[in-house]
């Protein structure tokens, strides 16, 4: 079963998809728009409602030559990704995710990529992952924030979604606030020093 979900409030108007098969479900698949056809990362959430573990063993797509199951912590491909019983596993930046190799076209925001995930047990499931804009500020990506906002919404906890949404906003604004405050105090100190020098020159005159 595939259910189209509207964009999460605060996370942009991107459409997200939910796919269910037996005790497994996939939600909030997304691909940040890559800069080339060489590689692209796909993120999503897998829920296993069964009492036994499931393993993601392979992923295929007509839009890529191959897809690796990748461990961002070790920067290596892995043979499978385990989803423990009655848990949700987030494939996200810094952890496990899907690495598309040599995409057939340059993926751009607004595109949709079909991903066929094979589980053992569980069989194959196909999810459509929208390509979302890649946004970088000061060399650090905010795609993590987009992903986590979407992932928490998929978890069905409204309070956590709201809490993380505001935490995301604060994280985005924090560098501006910190450096803006430092700049203000530095400028004020320089201004006061300049005034003191002027007063000293006037007194000497």
- The mean pLDDT value for 164-185 works out to 62
pLDDT band of residue 7 (cuts 50, 70, 90) is: very low
State the Cα–Cα distance between residues 114 and 131, nearest whole angstrom. 11
- Residue 156 clears pLDDT 50, i.e. is over it: no
Could you read off the pLDDT of 113-126 as tens digits, one per residue? 999 999 999 899 99
Q: CB burial class (10 A; 0-12, 13-18, 19+) of residue 193?
A: exposed
130 C-beta neighbours (distance < 10 Å), count? 18
State the Cα–Cα distance between residues 135 and 76, nearest whole angstrom. 25
pLDDT band of residue 69 (cuts 50, 70, 90) is: very high
Please tell me the predicted confidence (pLDDT) of residue 55: 96
Could you read off the pLDDT of 94-108 as tens digits, one per residue? 889 999 999 999 999
- The mean pLDDT value for 133-143 works out to 51
State the Cα–Cα distance between residues 130 and 30, nearest whole angstrom. 5
Contacting residues for 4 by C-beta, under 8 A, at least 6 apart:
15, 16, 17
Query: What domains lie within the chain, and their CATH numbers?
Result: 2-133 (2.60.40.1890)
Output the six-digit token pair for 57: 């063993």
Please tell me the predicted confidence (pLDDT) of residue 145: 52
Please tell me the predicted confidence (pLDDT) of residue 204: 66
Closest CA to 4 of 28, 35, 33: 28
Q: Which residue has the higher pLDDT, 79 or 202?
A: 79
Closest CA to 3 of 33, 28, 23: 28
Output the six-digit token pair for 17: 């998809």
> How far from each other are the two terminal CA atoms of the chain, in whole angstroms?
86
DSSP 37: S
Give the highest mean pLDDT range of 16-30, 134-148, 190-204. 16-30
Which long-range contacts (C-beta less than 8 Å, at least 24 apart) are formed by 50-53? 50/22, 50/23, 50/24, 50/85, 50/86, 51/85, 51/86, 52/85, 52/121, 53/82, 53/83, 53/84, 53/85
State the Cα–Cα distance between residues 170 and 195, nearest whole angstrom. 36
Please tell me the predicted confidence (pLDDT) of residue 8: 36
């Amino acid at each position: 079963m595939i259910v189209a979900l509207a964009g999460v409030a605060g996370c942009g108007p991107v459409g997200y998809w939910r796919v269910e098969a037996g005790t497994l479900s996939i939600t909030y698949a997304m691909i940040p728009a890559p800069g080339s056809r060489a590689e692209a990362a796909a993120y999503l959430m897998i829920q296993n409602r069964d009492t036994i573990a499931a393993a993601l063993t392979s992923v295929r797509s007509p839009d890529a030559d191959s897809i690796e199951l990748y461990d961002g912590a070790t920067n290596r491909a892995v043979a499978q990704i385990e989803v423990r019983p009655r848990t949700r596993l987030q494939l996200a930046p810094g952890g496990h995710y899907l690495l598309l190799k040599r995409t057939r076209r340059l993926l751009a925001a607004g595109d949709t990529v079909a991903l066929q995930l094979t589980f053992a047990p569980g069989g194959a499931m196909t999810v459509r992952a929208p390509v979302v804009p890649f946004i970088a500020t000061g060399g650090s990506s905010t795609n993590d924030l987009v992903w986590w906002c979407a992932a928490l919404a998929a978890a069905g906890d409204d309070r956590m979604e709201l809490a993380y949404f505001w935490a995301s906003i604060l994280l985005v604004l924090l560098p501006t606030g910190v450096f803006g405050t430092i700049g203000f105090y530095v400028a004020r100190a320089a201004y006061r020093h300049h005034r003191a020098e002027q007063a000293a020159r006037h007194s000497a005159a």
